[in-house]
Copies of this chain bind each other. A is one copy, B any other.
Amino acid sequence: MADYAEMKSRFDGLKAEGLKLNMMRGKPETKQVALSIPMLSLITQREDMVRNGVDAANYGELAGMPEARRFFADILGCREEQVFVGGNASLTLMYDTVAKAFTHGLLHSSSPWAKQEGLKFLCPVPGYDRHFRITESFGFELISVPMDEIGPDMDMVEELIKDPKVKGMWNVPKYSNPAGIIYSEETVRRIASMKPAAEDFLLMWDNAYCVHEFDGDYVEMPDILSLCEKYGNADMVFEFASTSKVTFPGAGISCFACSEANMAYMKKLLGVQMISADKMNQLRHVLFLKDKENTIAHMKKHAVIMKPKFDMVCDMLDREIAPEGIATWTRPKGGYFVCVRTKPGLAKRTVELCKEAGVAVTPAGATHPYGIDPDDSVIRIAPSFPPIDELEKAMEVFCVCLKLAAAEKNV
């Protein structure tokens, strides 16, 4: 165990430096943003904005530019007709899907969820705070399901979905936020073949990191739509993706994908809410990213910036924390996070100490429903935004704080 006095003195020294560093959110750094600047010059005249008779600048095409639908279908391995292209945020599309279930009901709902009481939603943990907050905001009871390195505990899920009040489940199947794991083929198959008691069970499949390898080759995932279809669950799943971490985080394009029956149903509802999302930005993206192959090539440029940061974070944890035996972590090959699991009771204090020393880390608990991690042990590290020298300093602070927290508690 690290010596308290030594750690306290190192901590005080770091604190005295008056740092202001941030490892809080999965935010691409400026160099990554710059990779997509050429995209901004692709539509500058009238000829550029009309494709196959569709005017990207004018009204129309509720489900988006046909080229953009094809693009996402290529990325996700589904059919063009199953894709609805949205605006700059898949988060908004996810929120809206839940909101539609609430206000109008889904395709197989007997009544809108607003008219039903005591609804529950499954939340694999550790997970994405913004997912959990959506369902919390709509008043669902959030049920934690533990995850391991191949995905959520499916025995538990299969048991929980026998309750008809359990209306859905969040998932980040590839490079999950924050654990960085990839659901195994067997996990995905078990999910696609679930038999939930709720006739309108909503499988939220946030494929946020579908092409986001930074270490090694692209990893193929099964197309969840056809897999669900195969098991008689075609209408159970809504899949989401975006280019937020491919092009511009605040100005990318997004999509949801679902069965044709769901698409027909959702288009009827969405046609009341919108005429179409910004098709000009959709077209700009397709002109730039072209197709899956070219997008994967583009992601290699992100990888060049991302990999050294993740290596540095994990190497420092290996060097500074592993010998202490006070935490474990994943070494992900894609996504945006390193997930540190401390011995119980250390996460909050570590984050607090980091803050005191001028390093912002995602609040402990954020990875769990209601922001409460019962073991107080999960810390999400987001290495992407700071330049690598700042990140190194931030990680130095983090390791000292974690060791100091352990020494304080004598663990």
A-side residues, CB < 8 A to B, are 25, 27-28, 30, 33-34, 37, 40-41, 43-46, 55-60, 87-89, 91-92, 95-96, 99, 102-104, 112, 114-115, 130, 133-134, 137-138, 244, 248-251, 269, 272-281
Which residues of chain B are near A130, meaning CB under 8 Å? 272
A-B contact pairs, 13 of them (CB 8 A): A40-B43, A40-B45, A41-B41, A59-B249, A87-B87, A87-B88, A89-B275, A99-B99, A102-B114, A103-B103, A137-B269, A278-B278, A281-B281
Q: How far is the CA of A115 from the CA of B112 in the complex (A)?
A: 11
How many copies the complex holds: the figure is 2
Min distance, Cβ A212 to any Cβ of chain B, angstroms: 16
> Per a CB cutoff under 8 Å, which of B34, B137, B278 touches A272?
B137
In the assembled complex, the CB of A401 is this many whole angstroms from the nearest CB of chain B, namely 25
Answer whether A57 and B44 are a contact pair too, CB < 8 Å, given A92-B273, A281-B278, A281-B281: no
Q: Contact check: which of B45, B55, B99, B278 meets A103 at CB < 8 Å?
A: B99
Query: With A44-B37, A99-B99, A134-B272 as given contacts, are A251 and B281 in contact (CB-CB < 8 Å)?
Result: yes
Q: Is B104 a contact of A103 with CB atoms below 8 Å?
A: no
Q: A60-B250, A112-B114 are in contact. List 15 more A-B contacts (CB 8 A).
A: A27-B58, A30-B46, A37-B45, A41-B44, A57-B251, A59-B249, A87-B88, A87-B277, A91-B273, A91-B275, A92-B273, A95-B274, A99-B99, A251-B281, A281-B281
Across the interface, do B133 and A272 meet the contact criterion of CB distance under 8 Å?
yes
Q: How far is A325 from B115 in the complex, measured between Cα atoms in Å?
A: 52
Q: Chain B nearest CB: distance from A202 CB in Å? A: 16
Closest chain B CB from A237 CB (angstroms) = 21
Give the residues in chain B near A92, CB-CB below 8 Å.
Answer: 273-274
- Please state if A88 and B55 are interface contacts (CB–CB under 8 Å): no
- Nearest B-chain residue to A28, judged by Cβ: B58
Identify the interface centre among A25, A244, A274: most chain B CB within 10 Å of its CB.
A274
Instruction: Determine whether the beta carbon of A274 is less than 8 Å from that of B89.
Output: yes
Enumerate chain B residues within 8 angstroms of A115, measured Cβ to Cβ: 114
A99-B99, A269-B137 known; A249+B37 contact, CB < 8 A: no
- Residue of chain B at shortest CB distance from A269: B137
Alpha-carbon distance A88/B115, docked complex (angstroms): 32
In the docked arrangement, what's the CA distance between A299 and B249, Å?
Answer: 32
Residues A250 and B273 in contact, CB atoms below 8 Å apart: no
Q: With the chains together, A134 CA to B274 CA distance in Å?
A: 10
A252 to chain B, nearest CB (A): 8
Give Cα A251 to B88, complex, Å: 12
Shortest Cβ distance from residue A277 to the other chain B in the assembled complex, whole angstroms: 7
Complex formed: what's the CA distance from A41 to B45 in Å?
Answer: 9
A279 to chain B, nearest CB (A): 5
Considering only CB atoms, which chain B residue lies closest to A115 in the complex?
Answer: B114
Give every chain B residue within 8 A of A41 (Cβ-Cβ): 41, 44
On chain B, the residues within 8 Å of A28 by CB distance are 58
Instruction: Please state if A249 and B58 are interface contacts (CB–CB under 8 Å).
Output: yes
Q: Contact: A250 with B56, CB < 8 Å?
A: yes
Question: How far, in whole Å, are A278 and B254 apart by their CA atoms in the complex?
Answer: 12
- Known interface pairs A102-B103, A114-B112, A278-B250; A30-B55 also in contact (CB < 8 Å): yes
- Whether B59 and A25, one on each chain, are in contact in the complex, defined by CB atoms closer than 8 angstroms, is yes
User: Shortest CB–CB separation between residue A32 and chain B, in angstroms?
Assistant: 9
Cβ 8 A contact of A249, one of B57, B87, B89: B57
A324 to chain B, nearest CB (A): 34
**Is A250 a contact of B279 with CB atoms below 8 Å?**
yes
Selected from B34, B58, B91, the residue in CB contact (under 8 A) with A250 is B58
- Chain B residues with CB under 8 A of A27: 58-59
Q: Which of B33, B112, B269 contacts A57 (CB 8 A)?
A: B33
